[in-house]
Amino acid sequence: MAKIKVIQPEEAEGKLKEIYDGLSKSRGKIAEVHKIQSLNPDSIVKHMELYKTIMFKQSPLKRWQREMLGVVVSKANECEYCQIHHAEAVNAYWKDMDRTNALRADYTTADLSEKDLLLCEYAASLTQSPHRVNEHHLVEKMKAADITDREILDATLVTSYFNFVNRIVISLGVELEENPGGYNY
């Protein structure tokens, strides 16, 4: 149960109603992670801008790789809400529920390429012990595996974004929707 007041779509007025209507139209429905921000409608808009920039704009990382990193970060943070949502997104691309479930359980068992394993290791390490990332020489390992600086930057942005969202979800008690699927990917 949410720990703060949430304005539901049927109660929304003015700017919040416009935002909710736009989310419903573009995403297929409104996620609880957006509703939790209903007392500050501008934060929903800025949140969506950041999300779209990091997750959907041009990047050398494929969409499913970005979603994969989101699952790894959310697993490390024990954010069930984001794990479920973003594992569904990964599976929309992979179309392999066993592999998706393996990613959620332990990314090292998900039959990933060396590049994807390194990206996941980086995301997990940056989430669990950001002060030790450089001690583990993960950036150097990624560069040695021909992962470009832009890919490293984008992996860092995805990891940081999911740490941000996981903290909103966990701290404010965002609950998983009754039917969490069905978003436009």
| Cα angle 59, 62, 65; round to 5 | 120
Asked if 157 and 97 sit in the same domain, the reply is: yes
Q: Which residue has the tokens 């068992």?
A: 109
Beta-carbon-side half-sphere exposure of residue 27 (alpha carbons within 13 Å):
20
Query: What pLDDT, in 10s, does the model give residues 60-75?
Result: 999 999 999 999 999 9
**pTM of the prediction?**
0.94
How many other C-beta atoms lie within 10 A of the C-beta of residue 177?
17
The residues, any chain, with a CB within 8 Å of residue 152's CB and separated by 6 or more, are 122, 139, 142, 143
DSSP code, position 174: P
Residues 110 and 46: their CA atoms lie apart, in Å, by 33
Query: What pLDDT, in 10s, does the model give residues 81-116?
Result: 999 999 999 999 999 999 999 999 999 999 999 999
Say whether pLDDT at 185 is over 60. Answer: no
Which residues span the domain enclosing 82? 63-167
Per-residue model confidence (pLDDT) at position 181: 66
Query: What pLDDT, in 10s, does the model give residues 119-172?
Result: 999 999 999 999 998 888 999 999 999 999 999 999 999 999 999 999 999 999
Asked if 44 and 72 sit in the same domain, the reply is: no
Asked if 84 and 159 sit in the same domain, the reply is: yes
* pLDDT confidence band for 179 (50 / 70 / 90): confident
Say whether pLDDT at 40 is over 90. Answer: yes
Per-residue model confidence (pLDDT) at position 136: 85
Asked if 30 and 69 sit in the same domain, the reply is: no
Per-residue model confidence (pLDDT) at position 163: 98
The residues, any chain, with a CB within 8 Å of residue 55's CB and separated by 6 or more, are 63, 66, 67, 70, 158, 161
Asked if 136 and 121 sit in the same domain, the reply is: yes
Beta-carbon-side half-sphere exposure of residue 32 (alpha carbons within 13 Å):
23
**In the chain, % of residues over pLDDT 70:** 97
Asked if 132 and 82 sit in the same domain, the reply is: yes
Per-residue model confidence (pLDDT) at position 178: 81
Asked if 42 and 99 sit in the same domain, the reply is: no
Per-residue model confidence (pLDDT) at position 183: 59
Q: Which amino acid, residue 30?
A: I
Residues 31 and 40: their CA atoms lie apart, in Å, by 15
Asked if 87 and 163 sit in the same domain, the reply is: yes
Please indicate, yes or no, if residue 46 is contained in any of the structural domains: yes
How many structural domains comprise the chain? 2
Per-residue model confidence (pLDDT) at position 161: 98
